Amino acid sequence: MKKLFCALCVSVLIASCASNKNIPYFQDIPQTARHVSDTTLIQSETRICSGDLLSITVSALDPTAVIPFNMPVVAYASPVSEQAYISATPTMQGYIVDARGNITFPVLGDLKVVGLKRSELLTLLKQKLLPYLKDPVITLQFLNYKITIMGEVAHPGTYTIPNERVTILQALGMAGDMTVFGKRNNVLLIRENEGKKEYIRLDFNKVSSISSSYYYLQQNDVLYVEPNKTRIISAETQNASLYISIISTIVTAAAVVFSLVKK
């Protein structure tokens, strides 16, 4: 028991001595007053996936001409009592991308949109509307744009983004940043691209992670911050403490029973 207790103490000491050499971000940036990167940020455009909810609004010089091409504005009423109702603020309905990758657009019918970039869908809609409208203006927005952040961050979870432009650093900021136990040199990005899963490893100890084509996140991206060795040792130590406590209780109970039987 003494040896086991000593081993447990050593493990706790090792777990508490976390090295901070890998905690700072972007360690390869020169220690000068100002440094300008020689690389240009690459922003990849979001592609539409099945399950996306799109807000599409068509406008033109003649407001009455665009009415058939817009979803009706609705307000939902919920009963409070038999006489009273609470009405919500009127909102524009969205277009859901079905399992086949289509949306059903007024007048135009079913349109295949899955896999298209935002700009490509705008071009497609404008071409389809030109026979009906002169110089149509189309506004498109993702209503359910979300990302998921897991692992060693302060507040893991799924976050809804009000627009389709968010960087990895902004996402980590939403989640309260990585904890000191997160491996900054091995952050995993999981992305769905044209029906296939991509797995990308990013090193945030190096500034090259900012100039990566994956710096801007896309719809349904998942970030996973892996725990470092200190966190794993700490978890194992906690389990060992639990096992020791259980064994001690069993041994004590057995000793009491044995002493009673002996008497």
DSSP for 170-207? Answer: HHHHHTT-B-TTEEEEEEEEEEEETTEEEEEEE-TTSG
Token pair listed for 59:
């406008």
Q: Which of 165, 177, 159, 178 is nearest to 216 (CA)?
A: 165
What pLDDT score was predicted for residue 119? Answer: 92
For the 146-229 domain, the top CATH level (class) is alpha beta
User: Domain ranges in the chain?
Assistant: 53-142, 146-229
Directed axis angle between helix 2-16 and helix 229-262, to 10°? 160
Per the prediction, the chain carries an average pLDDT of 79
- CATH number assigned to the domain covering 53-142: 3.30.1950.10
Indicate the pLDDT class of residue 16, thresholds 50, 70 and 90.
very low
> 80 vs 76, 87, 88, 94, CA distance in Å?
13, 10, 13, 27
This prediction's pTM: 0.66
Q: Which two tokens stand for residue 171?
A: 């996402």
The span from the CA of 214 to the CA of 201, in Å, is 10
**If pLDDT is split at 50, 70 and 90, which confidence band does 18 have?**
very low
The residues that bridge with 187 in the sheet, in sequence order, are 202, 225
Domain 146-229 in the same topology as domain 53-142: no
Of residues 23 and 130, more confidently modeled? 130
Cα-Cα-Cα-Cα torsion 159, 160, 163, 166, nearest 10 degrees, comes to 10
Q: Which of helix, strand or coil describes residue 237?
A: helix
Nearest CA to 179 out of 225, 124, 217 is that of 225
